[in-house]
Structures are given as structure tokens and as C-alpha cells.
Amino acid sequence: RRMDEMTASLPSPPGLPIIGNATMFIGDAEKMLKNLEKLADLAYQHKGCIKLWLGPKLYVAIGTPEDAQVVLENCLDKDVVYRFLRPWLGHGLFIAPVGLWKAHRKVLLPVFYNKVVEEYLGVIGVQANVLIERLSEQTDQKEFDVLKYITACTLDIVFETAMGERMDVQHSPETPYLRARHTVMTILNMRLFKVWLQPDCLFNLTPYAKEQKDNIDLTHRFTDEVVKKKRIEYERKKNEVNFDESTGKLRAVLDLLFGREIEFTDEQLREHIDSITIAGNDTTALVIAYTLVLLGVHQDVQEKVYLEQEAVFGDSKRGATKTDLQKMNYLERVIKESMRLYTVVPIIARNIDKDTYLPGCGVTIPAGAGAVVGAFAIHRSKMVWGPNAKDFDPDRFLPERSDKRHPAAFIPFSYGSRNCIGRNFGMLIMKSIVSSVIRSYKIYAHDIGGLKIEMLLFPINGHLIKIHKR
Ligand code: HEM
């Protein structure tokens, strides 16, 4: 009752006794997105926030940068909805409880500094070349879904840079490990939308529980093996009398996590590495795929991107260097605009651990509630982006058009100290890969069409493009 009274001025869609608004979250991924759009409309008729009861749990959904900023800066604990990931990712950075997260994030942060991740440009260049070669089978053919090609490429990049293991998914995608990963993701997504599968006591009665456990065990065994191998390597090198740090060999994220201020256990290392490979792969692949489709739809933008690439590379197909990437200002704006319109992490959910005042809607959210920051809604809000908010216009990100914008108006990587630790690395990968593809192929596409929301945002019909060799 206290929670309801404190948030009495917030609008709420009609609900049912006991289950509240839970019925809005029953149905397929497509229906779910439609419902979320209705909720966003209701929020914008008021002050950008609404409240929802999911059974006994109060959620406040936020659609303005002002209130998103307050939540993302002050409420660092993840919402209980992420608990489904716990058996898989344990206390890895993505879902670690705040106390542990603070200590571990401090240790992991330097591993993602620009000067460290730039060392991985060589790996990105090699995998970009494999992608270009694989795409050639689609040259001058019918429309095809480009996401599967891109996902294989980003998997190769993220695995090699996170674990130091070359997986070669682009040439051999059918491994037991990848199948297991896919199965776990499918069960997690299904659980998110089938409310009756959400309570553990019911889920454990279904065959999915065993299937999930077996497949999670398989993925754990895989990462455990890699961690064990790296631990032996580290101990051997540490004990060498003249151990030379600069062996010239590429040091993966995992290598950099040994011998740090915190001595991570093998289990903690596995949880961090699994979190990084899961958080870093599909997100990056999706942004690249959306960007390629958008370039296919907007031929004028594609031409400008191509001219920028030509100015940097001439007709060379080599991998991009750090200096090359710094010159790709227009491509960077294109990728940002793609992330704005197609926000691959459309919703960010946090636990409210202390009463928190939201200045935008003028309400204090009570401790114990959940906050759902609608990044997708904020990115398409006319109040923030103007009457043409739905149009694709990369020049919105020109410095002179961005400097007056609210700092939390653009949050594809979230905001505040618990934002995406891999955002700079993600940008390096995305710019390098789009650069390579656009230098080799001219792209054509129709509109992206309808969207559906799973853990991430997908187009219903896939990322369909046609390509011709340049
Ligand atoms: C376009 C690419 C990417 C997008 C859109 C993205 C988006 C996000 C978002 C929105 C969050 C925060 C969720 C929250 O606030 O609750 C996050 C967290 C995280 N991301 Fe990314 N990400 C991307 C690429 C990457 C890459 C390349 C890596 C690593 C290789 C990575 C690793 C992580 C990790 C470990 C976290 C958890 C951080 C923490 O809780 O401290 N991400 N990402």
C-alpha cells in the first residue's frame, strides 16, 4: 500500500486483481513490443513515466532522459528479472550484486581501455577478411539474412580476444559448444515470455530445466578448460626466472585477469569470461547487421560512407588501423544513428534499493520497486529528438547538433558507472567490420519492417540485404 500511495500520481494501464498488469507480458515477442509501444504512448501523455504491477512487484517504466539519468546513476543493482541468467553467468560482471560488482569492475576496467583493445585490431582485420570471403557466395544472388554471417564473425573476434582461443566459427559453425550456447539462449528467451515458466518451482518440473542444466554444464566445461590451461600457462611464466612480459604474443582479456589486485578464482574467471562473450557478441553483431540494412535502404548515406572509406584506404582492402578508424567520422555517426533507431538492448532494468526521487515525473520511487528504463522509447521520443525522430539522419550526431542534448538522451550502452564496459571495443569492431564490408560490396535493401523484442531487439523478417561486388 505504501508503494502504491507513493506512486499514486503515476498513470497505470488497467490491470487485474492479484496479477496486476502481468497479462501485458504474455504473448510472443512481437506482441510484447506492441504492448511496450502502448505503454510508452501512455507515459508520454503524462510526464514520461508510468507504473505497472506484476503480481506483488511494482515497476516504474521510465521514458525520459532526466529520470533515466537519475536511475542509472544511483541504482546500480540489477533487477530480479535477470535472475534467469544466474545459473549460467553466476556472479559475472553483468549480473554481479553491487558490492562484488564494485570491486570487480575496478579490476576489469583497465582491460577495456582504448590502448588495450586497440591491440585487437589485428584479430578484427583477419576475421573481417574471412567475412568478406564468405559473403562472396551471396554476390549477385537474391536477398539473404546477413546476421548469421556477422554473428559468426563477431563470435570469432570476441572468443579470440576474450579467451585467446581461435574458434573459427566462420568456417565451422556446428560445434557442441555453440549448439549448447544457442539452446540455453533459446530457453532463456522463452522463459522471459512465458510467465508460467518464470517461477523456479514450475520451471523445474518441465523438461526445459534439465535441457538448460545440461547445456549450461557443457558451456561451463568449455570455459573451465580454457581457464585451466591459461592458469597453468600463467603459473609457469610467473615462476620463470627471467619472465619477459613482452613476449609479443597477443594477450587476451583472460590473460590480463591473472595476477591482479584481486586474485580471481577459476570459477570467477569463468563467470567473467562467459559474461563478456555473451554480452559482447550478439549486441555487436546486431548493430552491424542493422547498419548494413540501413545503408542498403539509404543509398545516399551509403555513397557518403563509401567516399569516406575511399579517402582513407584508396582501393585497399586491408584491415583498419587505429588511425584509419579515427578518420571515419561519418561512419561513426551512421552507426550511432543505427543504434538510436534500433536500440539492440531496448530495456534496462534496475532494482530500486533506496527511495529515489525522479525529478522529471516528480515522484519518489519506493525501495523494493523495479525501474525499467526504456532506452528504445527514449531514442524514438519526439520530445527528445524532434518531430522527425523516426527518420534516419546520421547528422544528428554532428557535434554542433549534439552538444545541447541531454547526456542520457542517447544510451545504447546504458549510462552511469554500470554502463557497458565493452563500449569502446564494440565501436572498434563495428567500425572495422562495416568499413571492410562497404569497401568490398555495394548493398541494397528494403525497409527493416516490424520488430520483435526478445532479450535483444530483432527484425521479424531478419536482416535482409542483397550485395554486388564493387
Ligand atoms: C554494440 C555493442 C554493445 C551494446 C549495444 C552493449 C550494450 C550494453 C548495455 C546496455 C549494458 C548495460 C546494461 C545495464 O545497464 O544494465 C552492457 C553491459 C555490459 N557489456 Fe555491453 N554492449 C555492447 C558490446 C559489448 C562488448 C563488445 C563487450 C565485451 C567484449 C560487452 C560487455 C559488457 C559487460 C561485461 C557488461 C556488464 C557491465 C557491468 O555490469 O559492469 N558489451 N552492454
Q: Where are the domains of the chain?
A: 2-469
Q: Going by CA atoms, what residue is nearest to atom 40 of ligand 1? A: 94
**179 Cα to the center of ligand 1, angstroms:** 23
**2 Cα to the center of ligand 1, angstroms:** 35
Backbone angles phi, psi at 319, to 5 degrees: -70, 155
- What pLDDT score was predicted for residue 247? 59
**397 Cα to the center of ligand 1, angstroms:** 21
At a CB cut-off of 8 Å and minimum separation 6, what does 211 contact? 183, 187
- Are 318 and 440 a contacting pair, CB within 8 Å? no
Specify the ligand 1 atom closest to the Cα of 96.
40
Specify the ligand 1 atom closest to the Cα of 287.
1
- What pLDDT score was predicted for residue 332? 98
Q: Going by CA atoms, what residue is nearest to atom 1 of ligand 1? A: 284
**286 Cα to the center of ligand 1, angstroms:** 13
Q: Going by CA atoms, what residue is nearest to atom 20 of ligand 1? A: 420
Q: Which residues line ligand 1 (CB under 6 A)?
A: 93-94, 105, 158, 275-276, 279-280, 283-284, 287, 344-345, 348, 412-414, 418-422, 425-426
**138 Cα to the center of ligand 1, angstroms:** 31
Residue 298's identity, in one-letter code, is H
- What pLDDT score was predicted for residue 45? 87
- What pLDDT score was predicted for residue 26? 77
- Compute the C-alpha angle 376/379/385, nearest 5°: 155
Transcribe 285-325 into DSSP letters. HHHHHHHHHHHHH-HHHHHHHHHHHHHHHTT--PPP-HHHH
**283 Cα to the center of ligand 1, angstroms:** 8
Select from 3.30.70.20, 1.10.630.10, 1.20.210.10, 3.30.300.30 the CATH code of 2-469.
1.10.630.10
Locate 149 and state its grid cell.
554471417
Distance between CA atoms of residues 169 and 297, nearest Å: 29
Q: What is the DSSP letter of 261?
A: S
- What pLDDT score was predicted for residue 246? 56
- pLDDT tens per residue across all 470 residues of the chain: 999 999 999 999 998 988 888 888 777 778 888 888 888 889 998 899 999 998 889 999 999 999 999 999 999 999 998 999 999 999 999 999 999 999 999 999 999 999 999 999 999 999 999 999 999 999 999 999 999 999 999 999 999 999 998 999 999 988 899 999 999 999 998 887 777 888 899 999 999 999 999 999 999 999 999 999 999 999 988 776 554 555 567 899 999 999 999 999 999 999 999 999 999 999 999 999 999 999 999 999 999 999 999 999 999 999 999 999 999 999 999 999 999 999 999 999 999 999 999 999 999 999 999 999 999 999 999 999 999 999 999 999 999 999 999 999 999 999 999 999 999 999 999 999 999 999 999 999 999 999 998 889 999 999 999 999 99
**413 Cα to the center of ligand 1, angstroms:** 6
**117 Cα to the center of ligand 1, angstroms:** 15
For ligand 1, mutation pick of 70, 156, 350, 420 (most atoms within 8 Å of CB)? 420
351 beta partners: 370
CB contact burial 325-341 (16+ within 10 A = b; e otherwise):
bebbebbbbbbbbbbbb
For ligand 1, mutation pick of 114, 147, 273, 283 (most atoms within 8 Å of CB)? 283
- What pLDDT score was predicted for residue 438? 98
Closest listed residue to residue 147, CA positions, set 470, 463, 420: 463
Strand 363-365 and strand 370-374: pairing? unpaired
CA 358 from centroid of its chain's CA atoms: 26
- Are 184 and 215 a contacting pair, CB within 8 Å? yes
